[in-house]
Structure 1
Amino acid sequence: MTKQKDVYQRPRYALSSVDHVLRLIQILRDTGGARLSDIARELDISPSAAHRLLTMLVYRDFAVQDESRAYTPGPSMGAPPSPSPWTRKLKSLLSSHLELLAGRLDESVSLMFRTGVRTRVLTTLEGRQPLRVGDRTGLVQDARLTAGGKAILAEHDQAFLERLYRSNSAKLAGGYLNDAEFGGLVRTLEETKRLGYALNEEATEVGLHALGMALHSADGGVLASFAVLVPASRADVLRDPRTLALVTEAQTEMDQAIRAAGLRLQA
């Protein structure tokens, strides 16, 4: 049982910068969106300071900017706590493998898992090149668009996909796909199964390309996925036979580590 809070009192050593970020999140959550000038006035800070805070929220997917340049809640804002207790163990188990792959390719590599129709990035190991894809840890994105998400979905059967995207619960949750959208997804996943990997060609953000592969639990079911992330200027590296060989080898080694640890979805 959660202990009831006695008094809502400002901490003696409150950090104003942290307080501004938390209040900004509350503003976006409770109003549905606001312009830069409104946020600066509400927080009683300069527009430049408000812009810096908003830039970080956009980077971490807690805010997005719409066509009118107003800021609205991003995907991370409404994401519930993860119901998957095994994710911390998975991250710890695979961190060295991801670091090794990032070093061999000199490109960024992310580990993610699926919750409903979205993926969540558990960790990112960055490459060392000056122009590289930065940390995406914590991002919550549409599984149909991310390379890792498509790699996971491709391992599920048609009946599961229909429950996820075509059921009454999908309508209630806002994830329902019409005939054309669902047909397009099925064709994409069939191509993913044929290739053995999934591609994201600027589907989630301009300038980002990715290659994703699924990871499997100790009982053989799909557990999570990982993706190699590159800037658009180096997109060709994802189709290089050397890259595919290294990524496939990493998948095999990580699957072996998961089996050896006995890690399952219910763990």
Structure 2
Amino acid sequence: MAKSMKNPPTYGVTSVDHALQLAVILQVEGSLTVSEAARRIGVARSSAHRLLATLVYRDFAVQKEDRSYGVGPVLEIADKAQSNVSAIRAAALGPLRTLVDTLDETANLIIRTGRTVRFIASVECAQALRVGNREGMVFPAHQVTGGLISLAALTDEELAALYATAPTDTSDERPDLTKLRSDLRAVRRSGVAVNLERSERGVVAVGRGVTDSGGDTIAAVSVSMPSVRYSPERVKALVEALTTTAEKISAGL
């Protein structure tokens, strides 16, 4: 069969095409400045700045301390070849729905890329007051349960190396490493991370790791709920349901 020719769509939107071009340049070639971006796609500097700002807003890019732009968490996921994101997500959707049916709280699947984590699957519960869908959102790893679970899987040396350099994103908050190490020791002991309004006021989350066949942590599963529905007495039931879910996801990989 002859290979079909790739033609641009007649309904294409120029600004969308320009943004996609910049995203590809960032992923394939690396960092660039506003002036370089304007020159590469043939637009005014002000237009290039608006396009890059939009990519930053959607986590396709980050602005560095030198004001140049680099690849963001969304595009970094493509480099995470050691864990097949699509396969993990596919294995998780069924167990996540069962988890929501069991607890009637919103459930999430989270992976770490460097210092950030991304919610790659989210299933909302049916309660009127609930935590909304988080799919696609990116957070600093030290602020959310899934990130704490993933960071706890690192050695002290690996953790130090991860945070050894200054953040490339000017909006990135550098954690207090002494406190973070203390938090991670607690996570290692229990195998569970609890986020008591750490990342968002009024929201509590509990998380547990998902491991591969070799026992390495490759993702985390969590349940998020309004703080008014959380109590320490719920933790046991939450952890039991999370453990069952994590085991089902691991088995489905």
Q: Same fold (TM over 0.5)?
A: yes
Give the secondary-structure state (helix, strand or coil) at the position aligned to 1:144: helix
Q: Does the CA contact (< 8 Å) of 1:210 and 1:238 recur in 2?
A: no
Matches within 5 A, 1:1-267: 12-13=10-11, 80-85=76-81, 86-166=84-164, 170-171=165-166, 173=168, 181-236=176-231, 239-255=234-250, 257-258=251-252, 261=253
Aligned mates of 1:134, 1:186 — CA distance in 2: 30
Structure 1 counterpart of 2:138, which letter? V
TM-score for the superposition, normalised by structure 2: 0.68
Q: 1:37 aligns to what? A: none
Stretch moving more, 157-166 or 110-119: 157-166
Q: How far has the Cα of 1:203 moved from its partner? A: 1.9
Structure 1 position 126, deviation (Å): 0.8
Q: Counterpart amino acid of 2:132?
A: G
Q: Distance in 2 between matches of 1:135 and 1:176?
A: 24
Extract unaligned runs of 5+ from structure 1. 1-6, 31-41, 44-53, 63-72, 262-267
CA distance in 2, matches of 1:225, 1:238: 22
| Conservation of the 8 A alpha-carbon contact between 1:211 and 1:238 | no
Give 1:70's aligned residue: none
Q: CA deviation at 1:241?
A: 2.2
Distance 2:102 2:131 in 1: 16
Query: In the comparison of the two structures, how many residue pairs are matched?
Result: 209
CA distance in 2, matches of 1:149, 1:243: 18
Contact 2:192 2:239 in 1 (8 A): no
- Taking the aligned partners of 1:15 and 1:232, their CA distance within structure 2 comes to 43
Query: Are 1:199 and 1:210, in contact at CA under 8 Å, matched by a contact in 2?
Result: yes
Query: Structure 1 residues 139 and 219, CA, compared in 2 at 3 Å: closer, same or farther?
Result: same
Cα 1:139–1:238, aligned 2, differ >3 Å: closer, same or farther? farther
* Comparing 235-244 and 123-132, the one that deviates more: 235-244
Retained in 1: the 8 A contact 2:202–2:227?
yes
Identity %: 25
Q: CA deviation at 1:238?
A: 7.7
Q: Structure 1 residue 79: deviation in Å?
A: 5.5
TM-score when scaled to structure 1? 0.65
Distance 1:239 1:61 in 2: 34
Distance 2:216 2:110 in 1: 15
Q: Does the Cα contact within 8 Å between 2:76 and 2:113 map onto a contact in 1? A: no
Structure 1 residues 108, 238: CA separation in 2 closer, same or farther (over 3 Å shift)? Answer: farther
Question: Cα distance, 1:219 vs. partner?
Answer: 1.3
Quick one: which amino acid aligns to residue 99 of structure 1? R
How far apart in 2 are the matches of 1:78 and 1:89? 17
